[in-house]
Chains A and B, each alone.
Chain A
């Protein structure tokens, strides 16, 4: 009896914690299917009848822009950012991990220091720059910085990974006459795949969730992302729109949940080894 209790008690505690933790997610799903009059009057978690019309209303989108368009915009920004981060961060990482050049230590230290820089210090001048370039209210301010390796976290992550790779393959490729770009592209990059996948997934999720930058740079409703569309619900105090609002919320977190289910191993490993956050 005592032994059985000792064995099961941690599981019971863990499951209890998990239920509390997952409650908001279940609530989100349930509320997205509730009829309007049940949202606040009934405290039953599950709706009495499933109100699928919340979803059809949600699909119409916000200010005449359909959810399909909003999702497409979010996807465009996220995929652009992923490509930018994977390319630019792996290039910089290869230099730091494999090439010898003057000031390497200084530059690497500087790169690590930028990890701690609060984004707000560069925010306003960056806005002025993009405003001068006529890029405000376009996706350039959101995607272009990713092609310039501004997210030092990923440079750091890939450097750490490349340092752990054996050099023999690269050396024999060099002896066979491969230049540094060929070595990077054909040998090192394929070996770095796990770190690149981690970079890609985190970039996707961060960009998908990002609100601040998108709010500052995008004005036209037809360029809105799904996050910006949801923002229009924030200042509403009425609860009449709860059903469609949470239906749209479910649609917007679905890609993240999918990514999580498919790539959870990479995500958890990435966090455990480098301390990345989401």
Chain B
């Protein structure tokens, strides 16, 4: 914030009549240093983001196998995908199911544990770090292999499920249940949003709760009327980030599906199918079209979230305006 105030006066441009020459110089001088400082990023943005985005948009209208020249096919990749490819719809269905189940569970657990830790006087830092550890490990191949083994036929989670009378032929091999192994692996990594929630909870002034308690508000009432609105910006932030990331889940899906989306395409996540089309089957044009649909879907979803945010996200500093 202080930066904005300090740069705002910009004495060089406005006070022409009595401009101090010493202050004008840095402004001029900063043009070429700025372009030097920015050049790695600018090259990266142009060569590895903007141009590739345009190229992949072009490729999405072609038939391209990486070896012969791309052949223009118009909208055919898109129409094939939407009307003639049941595996595409299967991958959309799996991914949407995964996002819809995993994100609320993960964020709910994160909020619950954050509130639990908030209530602790001692040991908060220890628990916070310990709960966070799975978030660092969860994206690794090793941990995905562990989950595959735990939920396999004969794995120890399977044995526990059997003991309490739940379906226990190994979720990994069951087309109805395999996707939930990926869900549980995602939920296991609730530590990162939990840390963010906890930071948000610690920002809420305790005087609000004290005043509410004096007015006779119970625990639940305090939660609904103080915690929820005060925390809503953090919830919103976590929700957007988590949804964007969840649509792109790959490593756990790859490992738990045995690398091919099985059993019976039940864990054929969108990114897995995109990889299979583009890199295994060499239909780069088709994969590019899938990538652009993903971008459009995620973009539209983010936009909708930002639109709805106005009605449920509460910013305390805007109250006085």
Contacts and interface: CB of A to CB of B under 8 A. Distances in A.
Interface of A: 10-11, 13-14, 17-18, 21-22, 24-25, 27-28, 31, 40, 43, 45, 87-89, 91-92, 94-95, 97, 99-102, 104, 107, 110-111, 114, 116-126, 128-129, 131, 145, 147-150, 155, 163, 167, 174, 179-181, 184, 205-206, 208-209, 211-212, 216, 227, 230-231, 233-235, 237, 239, 242, 245-246, 249-250, 252-253, 256-257, 259-260, 264, 267-268, 271-273, 275-278
Given A88-B44, A125-B55, A278-B139, A99 B146 contact: no
Interface in B237-293: 237-238, 241, 244-245, 247-248, 250-251, 254-255, 258-260, 271, 274-275, 278-279, 284, 287-288, 290-292
27 contacts: A10-B116, A14-B117, A17-B113, A24-B143, A24-B188, A28-B142, A28-B143, A99-B33, A102-B31, A118-B291, A118-B295, A119-B248, A120-B294, A121-B294, A122-B52, A128-B55, A128-B284, A147-B40, A148-B40, A148-B41, A148-B48, A181-B33, A211-B254, A212-B275, A239-B152, A272-B195, A278-B135
A242 B44 CA distance: 42
Interface stretch (B76-84, B88-96, B122-130, B212-220): B122-130
A94 B37 contact: yes
Among A155, A245, A267, A275, the most chain B Cβ lie within 10 Å of the Cβ of: A275
Given A181-B33, A277-B192, A125 B59 contact: yes
Contacts of A148: 40-41, 43-44, 47-48
A92 B37 contact: yes
Given A14-B127, A95-B34, A246-B145, A267 B136 contact: yes
B interface SS class: helix
A114 B291 contact: no
A122 B137 contact: no
B250 A212 contact: yes
Interface string B26-66: 11011101111110110111011101110110010000001
Contact of A110 (B45, B117, B247): B45
B120 interface: yes
Nearest to A166: B2
A27 B156 contact: yes
A180 B116 contact: no
Contacts of A125: 51-53, 55-56, 59, 288
Nearest to A259: B136
Contact of A118 (B66, B148, B298): B298
Interface of B: 2-3, 6-7, 10, 26-27, 29-31, 33-38, 40-41, 43-45, 47-49, 51-53, 55-56, 59, 66, 113, 116-117, 119-120, 123, 127-143, 145-150, 152, 154-156, 159, 188, 192, 195-196, 198-199, 237-238, 241, 244-245, 247-248, 250-251, 254-255, 258-260, 271, 274-275, 278-279, 284, 287-288, 290-292, 294-295, 298-299, 302
